[in-house]
Structure formats: C-alpha cells, structure tokens
Structure 1
Amino acid sequence: MSNLEFEPLQFLKAHSKDPGDLSTQIWDCFFSKNGSELVTCGGNSVCITETDSFEYEKLAIKKYYAKDPREMFLTVTETYVDNTWIVIAAGARAEIHLIDGKRNIAFLVDDFQKNTKKKCPINNILIHPDNPSIIICSLNNGSVHILDIGAPTYPNYVTELSPIHQFSIPSEIFSTIYEPESRLFLCATNKGLVGFTKDYEVVTFKLPTKSLQGTTCYDEEELVDSVQNVCNGFIAVKCALHGKIYIFNMNTITCGLRNVLSSTGSSSIQLKPAVTLNWSKTDNYFMSLSYNPYSQLLFCGDDEGCIWIYSLSPDTLYSSSSSGKILDPVHILIWPEVIDKHAVGSKKINLDVYDIVVNKVVMHPRGTYLISSTSNNYVCIWRNETLLKC
C-alpha cells in the first residue's frame, strides 16, 4: 500500500459568503450511503455536493444556512426514513436541523433543550443501530439525549422531536459510535473512553497513559478526542498528546464487561492495545479518525495540513494483535501549495501550512475520492490515482 497516490482536484471554500474567509472551521463531513453526495458542515451552513461534479471546474452544490448567523455546526449525519434521505445537523446553538437532502428543504429546526436554563452545544449525533428514526445526541456537558424524529415525508414533513430517554456521563462528550461486537455505544470524552449499553448502563475503560521511557501505566485520566470503528470488533482510539493511535480488540472484553455490569461498585475495564500506530506529536486536539472498509484504510489529519494513512486489514490486525505491534503510516499525504487568490486579494494573511488543522478526513465508499475538511474554511477533494492504475 506504500504506492498510494492522490491528486488534488478542488480546494473549496463553500461554507462562507466571504471568499477570502480563512477562519470558518469545517468540522464534519461524510459521503452519502451510495456515494453520490458529499455532505459537509461548518460555520452556520451545511453543503451537499454532487460527487459527479468533482471533475469539473463548477461543482453542483446545494447550501443550507441556519437562520441564526451565530450557529456553528459541529456535527452532521444521515438517515433514511420511508425512502426519504434526511441530513441531520447540530452544533453550538443546541438546535437539531432536519433537512431533506435531495430537495434541500429544512423541514424542522427544533431546540429540545428549550426548557433548560442553560443550553449546551451538541457535539455529536448518532443514528440508533436498531431504528433509523431514533437519534442519539451527545452534548458538551456529558448529557445524552435519545430522541425520535418520526417519519417525515415530502411534501408535508409532519413530524416533531419526541424524547425517549435522557441520562448523563460525568464528562464532556466529543463523539459517539456504536460498536456492534460488544453492543456498546462508545464515547470519546475528556475523561477517557466511556461506554453505555442499549439499556443505558455506563461503563468506563482504563487506557494506556502516555508512555515514559518505554513503560505504560493505567493510572491517570486521559482525554480521548476521537474513537472510530475499524473492522471485526476492532476500534481505533486517539488520546490527545500521545502521538499514538491505539487499536483495541473489543471481542476480548466480553467476560470483563459482564462482570463490570453485574458489579454493584464502580469498576473499569482495562484495554490493552492490539496494535499501536505512530502518529503526529502535535499538541492540538480534535482531529477525527475515520475508516474506509472498501480500502481497509484508516485516516487522520494533523495540524500541518497532512493526512496520515494506515493500512488496517483484518489480517494485519489479527496477525499483529498478539504481539502488540507498533505500525507506521503507509502514506502521509502532504498539503500542496495552494495560492488563495481571494485571501490575497482581500489583503488577508495567506494560508500558512503550520496553521492548517485537518479536522476530518473521509474516503468515498468505493475509494474514488479522499476528502479533508480544515479549520481554514477548506474542503479539499483528492482523486485516488492508485485506483486508476489498477
């Protein structure tokens, strides 16, 4: 996989009405299930770009702007209810935005915290694995809200947010995933990796602390800023300031999980890395992991505009897990020279490579394109030249 090759196609600044803007952060992005659209969120807007237009100078982009200019979207995801493609976005203003992705119609904007004194940002929205109309909202203050969005359909979209359950984790939640092998929801938090069951029982984990002189201990609290499913029960976890990404095998915790859930006292499950990945030594946080099952590649950006790429096939994971192997990236994609005419023309400081924080990286479902979104208002589209040479 060391012969990976990507060609930069487009570097877009679609999330701001000011073409010279270098400050709007693009926090989240994903490809639709069939790969025909790229969805990105940043500032107070959500953009839906047709992937068929990537190869052309003029892209087909639908934009949705929140009515409140103070909105800052932090998370965006999708669900399909009664054949309706629904894009769901949320962020700093604590509102849920439901958008018909095909028609670019926002049919519901709802604040489910309207009866609380202090609204809290929604950092992550996850679709429940058992029901496409149920969403799990993870908040900045550790509160988790389970809501039903109903079954809205065109043209009337009659629906409302119906609360199902609410509970709290004593930490700030940054992102949440569902891990099917352990049947746990896993949260990246400022106090480590925390999980909860479908019955809302909370589980905590002990992770390796930053190793000193080759030793590893499990005593200190760790800030986990990203957690991601990889394959076959393996997860990737990034602890801030470690310079490492840890791969854990969740298939090995079944007995320990059962004991913790049946215990009356507070206890944690200790996770030992199956594989450790060398990553950037940056002191920046919140650069999210992503995994592409088609290519079996794991991605993570850094604060120099680079994309770190790791090959994590099931064979690699199982063959390395017994030895706790340390792996290097198979490729590091370097930020190219970008001349931003709008920034230069507006006499703003031109892009400095050391200030480019890559918040999120995602690959097309069939591996055709690679997308990175940055803290500098860029959505970067790369073509996978490796596939063209196969």
Structure 2
Amino acid sequence: LYHVLLDFYRITLIQKVREMSTEASMPEESNGVLSKDNIKTTLTTEAPPASTSVVALAAAAAAAPTPAATSTNNKKAFKSESNGNGSNSDDEAKNESKTHGLVDPWYQFNEPEPEKIEGDLQYTPSYFLRTHSKNNNPADVQTQIWQCCFAPPSALGDTITRDVVATCGGSSVCFIDVTTGDVLLKYNRSTKALASENLYALAWTTLEVTNDEESVEEEQDDESDPIDAPGRSKAESKRSDNKQERTSVVAAGGGKSTVVLVDVEAGFCYHMFRTVTTKASSIICSLLFHPKKHSWLFCGHEDGHIEVWDVGLVSRPNYNKTNCVPLTTLPAVSGDAYNLQYCHKHDLLLAGCDSALLFYQLDMQKIIDGERLEVTKVDLPIPGYTGNGSSVVDSITMVRDTVLAAKCALHARIYVADVEHFLHKRKPAVKQKNVDFYLKAEFEDVVSLEWSDTDNYYMNMGADPSSCVLVCGDDKGTLWLYDLYNLITGKVPSPLTGGPEIPDPIPPCTKLLWPDLDDPEVEKAGKLRLDSYDIVVDKCCIDEGADHVVAVTSNNMVCIWTRAEHSESTDDSQ
C-alpha cells in the first residue's frame, strides 16, 4: 500500500507540473533535441596579413545526426522537458558575519596571481564553426550568436573541462571543446520558437544534486523542521554538511523573459521559467549567478530592472522537485541592463547600463528580506566633452577582481579602472531616484585603451584574470587584444595603482584579422560571402592562461583562435 501511495503521489506531482507549464503558456520544446554537430565541412583560408601561415578551418553545420551516427560517436544527446565610501576591514568583517548563514559552505575565492605571457600575443585561427543554424541550415549566415563563456573551475566535471566553452544564439546552446572543435552537447529549442524568443544571455553555476525519489517521510520531516539559517532548513543544512554532490548547470535567457536551465553532465534541459509574467515582450539581456550563493540568479532586463531568483537544487533523476523562486527585484536606474559582473572583495554587483555604470551593494540579508540595496552610479568620461553627460555602457568585464574594463558605445575607447578608487571617490547622490552615491569619473581616474571608431553597439569584451589579457571584437571581424599585466601590477605607473594619468589611449598589442574563408555551403546556396557584410563580433572570451580566444559573431560563426605556441598540435589534427 505504501508503494502504491508513493507512486500515486509521484504521478500526481508530475501531472501538476505539466499543468502548470501549460497554464503558463511556455513555448513548446522539441522531442529529441539535436545532439552532436559532428558533420563538418573543411574550409581552407588564406591567412590574414597579420598571420604567416595557411591553416585549415573547420565549420560544423548544425544538422541533426542520424541515430546511428549518434551511437557511433558515443556522444550524449540533449533531452528536453516542457516544463559609504569604500568599505574598511571592519565593515567587511561585519558584513561577512551577518551573511555567514547564507553563503554556500563550499564557497571560496582564490584569485590567481598575475602571470605575464612571455613573448608576443600571436594567435592562429583553428576552427570556425557554424553551430547555431536555424532549421539546421548549413548555409545560415543570419542567426546571431550572442554569448560565449568558458566553464569556470567550479563547473568542471567528467564532461566539462577547462577547454569547454558554452555559446548561445538563435534558439540553441552549444558546448564546444576548443582543442578539437567538437560540439560535445547541443540544446535546441523547438523550431516553433519565434525570433522574439531567441536566447541572448548565458551563465554557468554549480548546484547541489538531490534525489527526487526520497521517501515521503523525509519530505514531511524537511517541511516540519525549523529553520537553522535564513532560507535553509535542517535537511538542506545536513545535505550541505555531508558534502552533497554538485553538478554543472547553465542558464540561458532571452526573449519573453524566458530562462532555461540545463543540467550539463546529464545532458538534460530540466526546467524553464519566466522572470516577468506581466510583460510578454520583456527581454533578458544579461544573467549572472551569485558566486557566494550558487543558486541565486541575477537577470538583467531591457527596461533596466534586475530580477533575483533562487533556482534551487537539481533533483535527479526525474527533476520533480525543481522549484524556482523569485527573491527580489532591483528597480531600474539607468535603462537596459546589458552586462552583469561581480566584485568579490566588496560584494558588488556591477551593471553596464544604457546610460551609466551601476554598483549594487549585495547585502544578502536585504535580498532575502526584499529590502532596497545601496546603489552607486558612475558616469564615465566622454572624449572631447567636459559637461555632465551619460554614455551607453554596452560592455563591462572584470580583468581582476577589483579591476574593471568598461566600453561605451561611440567612444572609440575602452576604459580600465580600479573599483576601489571609484568607491573612495564617490559622493552622496543628490536628487537621483534609487541612487545613493554618485561619481562623475574623469580621464585621470581611468586608463584609456584605443579601440574601433565603429558606430555599432553591443560588442562584448572578455578577459583572463590570470594573464591580465583583455579582448574585444569589432564590426569587421577583427579581435583587439590588450596585455594589461604591466599596468595592473604597477610595473607601468597608471591610475590603476595610484599613479599619474596616461594622456593618450594605449593601442592594442595584437589585432587578429578576419581570415579569408572558403565556404562551399554558402557558395552552393548562392549567397554572398561572409565578408560582404559587416561581421559584428558580439562577444569574446579567453581561457585561463590565454591559450585560446573564442569569438561569436552576427553571421552565425563560433571562431576559435589558438595561441601560436599551442597551435602545432591543432594543425596536426586537421
């Protein structure tokens, strides 16, 4: 009788979840989503002027493999389911004590010591892959790929290694091994999904794994237990203390405020939810998991407000216990929230927005209680302009934990600044809604880097904290690389280390030009060559040690570049 009742309970719960998903009018997902993009067309190229050799490039057409091919390649297939001025040490100690019960017990932050790359930053193109094609069209040059991100150290496992990069664009998320060019996993939304439901944002995390076939008695015991710490029951605390298994999870978001959660090791898209149910057209521009609370997800929206959600645990094998809960809303301050970053030392959420750079002081208890967070607004300098004005901060990234790179549209510059310097220089805000502190930054506060004078927007940077290398693409397919090691370590005096202003923008140390691609699929389809249009590099990322640079473009290309001293083995494998 006990087992009969338990089975009845499970079936009822599954039916209820499906009913809730239907009522929420979530987009329908495809059955047997694409798995491994292993069909490649070899492209030959003439190396660009900055390169000295001819290399073979591989393009992976996003075509559904046959069951036999999937079996032969022994690759996992994705399944889908419908369903004050700068803090002093005393303030930091008080804040740490106050939030101790909320921080994940396994949290630790060990920033690597800066390590300079010896020699020139020279890279060769290794793989150019077309993996996000609409309807598996191998000649699709219109789908935009918006994000790419290497797996963080905490997300590494059997499937995910330090060489795996995740990309999102169109209706799909791909996981690619940059050393081989293999698409290890691919999640694809239903072909019925509209363009308004495309995926624009991506974030990695690790979540605790629980068994959703636990007994009813344990669940009842969990519900009846008093709370040990804010937001955690005794059962959750016990699982944490016992070093509960954790798994790598990727969240992707985009149109209609939709977020999908992917259990990467299991190859399973296990949940989908909407952050805003009152506005059908709301778009998610950026995602970031809280490093100190891995289940907390910050969702930046096009109207500037930021939703904070707790996505809970991963309940295998049936994913019946997935429970995503909204925690609080950070009100809009300066328009679209394009990028989100985090500063560990000061517990800051940094947001690059439509008209300013924002710092949110992340008091975890205030988030639990739904209280307003302290906000600092920073206006970055504008070349040739001395008055008060705002800029579109369309990209930010952390070069080091307290060293921020910010790019403003139409400035032809990238600004690198010390976050602590901004915190010490800020003043109480006067008559600014939802803003507590304000700073009008000057050129003496930042290091300026020379960048493209393009009038295009939303080309996002990436950086490697270990080597202090920064990379950003432009609208010609060119990647601009900057070696900031000497500036960050103080070997070259600059505002980053309390030194004097550097009057002129610093040029890049390397430019990687778009190679001359031979694309038979595009030629066969009678389309114009890729370089006939603007090739907007939407996002760049770089792995630890700067061995590989990955760029994703507006013409459906994932571009993998390998540092010259590491490219020999790659060339041999072509």
TM-score (norm 2): 0.63
Please list every run of at least 4 consecutive aligned residues from structure 1 whose deviation after the TM superposition is greater than 6 angstroms.
263-266
Structure 2 match to 1:3: 120
Aligned runs of 1:311-390 on 2, under 5 Å? 311-313=483-485, 314-316=488-490, 319-321=493-495, 322-325=499-502, 326-352=505-531, 355-387=534-566
Structure 1 counterpart of 2:189, from 66, 78, 84 = 66
Q: CA RMSD in A?
A: 2.3
Q: Secondary structure at the match of 1:102?
A: coil
Q: Deviations over 1:322-365 (max 9, x none)?
A: 22223111001111101111111001111126510111111122
Aligned pairs, how many? 380
C-alpha separation between the residues in 1 aligned to 2:252 and 2:474? 24
What letter is aligned with 2:249? I
Structure 2 match to 1:108: 271
User: Given that residues 360 and 375 in structure 2 are in contact (C-alpha distance below 8 angstroms), is that contact kept between their aligned partners in structure 1?
Assistant: yes
User: Given that residues 275 and 307 in structure 2 are in contact (C-alpha distance below 8 angstroms), is that contact kept between their aligned partners in structure 1?
Assistant: no
| Residues 101 and 228 of structure 1: CA distance in aligned 2, closer, same or farther (over 3 Å) | same
User: Given that residues 124 and 564 in structure 2 are in contact (C-alpha distance below 8 angstroms), is that contact kept between their aligned partners in structure 1?
Assistant: yes
Q: Deviations over 1:287-333 (max 9, x none)?
A: 01111123220000000000000011122586222222231110011
Structure 2 match to 1:86: 249
Deviates more, 1:45-54 or 1:235-244: 45-54
Structure 1 match to 2:83: none
What letter is aligned with 1:205? V
Bigger fraction of residues in helix:
2
Structure 2 match to 1:14: 131
User: Given that residues 375 and 436 in structure 2 are in contact (C-alpha distance below 8 angstroms), is that contact kept between their aligned partners in structure 1?
Assistant: no
Whether 1:154 aligns to 2:154 is: no
C-alpha separation between the residues in 2 aligned to 1:228 and 1:334? 23
C-alpha separation between the residues in 2 aligned to 1:231 and 1:78? 19
C-alpha separation between the residues in 2 aligned to 1:23 and 1:174? 22
Structure 2 counterpart of 1:270, from 421, 436, 440 = 440
What letter is aligned with 2:410? L
Identity of aligned residues (%): 29
User: Given that residues 174 and 183 in structure 2 are in contact (C-alpha distance below 8 angstroms), is that contact kept between their aligned partners in structure 1?
Assistant: no
C-alpha separation between the residues in 2 aligned to 1:129 and 1:61? 26
What letter is aligned with 1:66? R
C-alpha separation between the residues in 2 aligned to 1:358 and 1:373? 6
Deviates more, 1:67-76 or 1:280-289: 67-76
Aligned runs of 1:126-275 on 2, under 5 Å? 126-157=288-319, 158-170=321-333, 171-199=335-363, 200-209=373-382, 211-212=383-384, 216-257=385-426, 259-260=428-429, 268-272=438-442, 273-275=445-447
Whether 1:289 aligns to 2:451 is: no
Structure 2 match to 1:39: 166
What letter is aligned with 1:106? C
Q: Secondary structure at the match of 1:280?
A: coil
C-alpha displacement at 1:382, in angstroms?
1.3
| Residues 317 and 235 of structure 1: CA distance in aligned 2, closer, same or farther (over 3 Å) | farther
C-alpha separation between the residues in 2 aligned to 1:382 and 1:69? 32
User: Given that residues 480 and 512 in structure 2 are in contact (C-alpha distance below 8 angstroms), is that contact kept between their aligned partners in structure 1?
Assistant: yes
C-alpha displacement at 1:388, in angstroms?
6.4
Which is higher, the Rg of structure 1 or of structure 2?
2
C-alpha separation between the residues in 2 aligned to 1:223 and 1:345? 41
C-alpha displacement at 1:207, in angstroms?
1.4
C-alpha displacement at 1:31, in angstroms?
1.2
C-alpha displacement at 1:233, in angstroms?
1.4
C-alpha separation between the residues in 2 aligned to 1:26 and 1:140? 18
What letter is aligned with 1:72? N
User: Given that residues 3 and 386 in structure 1 are in contact (C-alpha distance below 8 angstroms), is that contact kept between their aligned partners in structure 2?
Assistant: no
C-alpha displacement at 1:141, in angstroms?
0.8
Deviates more, 1:225-234 or 1:336-345: 225-234
C-alpha displacement at 1:98, in angstroms?
0.3
C-alpha displacement at 1:253, in angstroms?
3.0
Deviates more, 1:193-202 or 1:312-321: 312-321
C-alpha separation between the residues in 2 aligned to 1:317 and 1:143? 40
Q: Deviations over 1:37-75 (max 9, x none)?
A: 211001000011234533xxxx24311112352221101
Q: Deviations over 1:358-381 (max 9, x none)?
A: 111111223322111000000011
C-alpha displacement at 1:279, in angstroms?
0.5
Q: Secondary structure at the match of 2:275?
A: coil
C-alpha displacement at 1:112, in angstroms?
2.9
User: Given that residues 303 and 354 in structure 1 are in contact (C-alpha distance below 8 angstroms), is that contact kept between their aligned partners in structure 2?
Assistant: no
In structure 1, stretches of 5+ residues that fail to align are: none
In structure 2, stretches of 5+ residues that fail to align are: 1-117, 153-160, 209-245, 364-372, 569-574
TM-score (norm 1): 0.91
What letter is aligned with 1:147? W
Q: Secondary structure at the match of 1:343?
A: helix
Q: Secondary structure at the match of 1:156?
A: coil
C-alpha separation between the residues in 2 aligned to 1:296 and 1:191? 27
| Residues 220 and 270 of structure 1: CA distance in aligned 2, closer, same or farther (over 3 Å) | closer
Structure 2 counterpart of 1:120, from 254, 274, 282 = 282
User: Given that residues 2 and 331 in structure 1 are in contact (C-alpha distance below 8 angstroms), is that contact kept between their aligned partners in structure 2?
Assistant: no
Q: Deviations over 1:166-191 (max 9, x none)?
A: 13123111111112344321111111
C-alpha separation between the residues in 2 aligned to 1:306 and 1:156? 45
Bigger fraction of residues in strand:
1
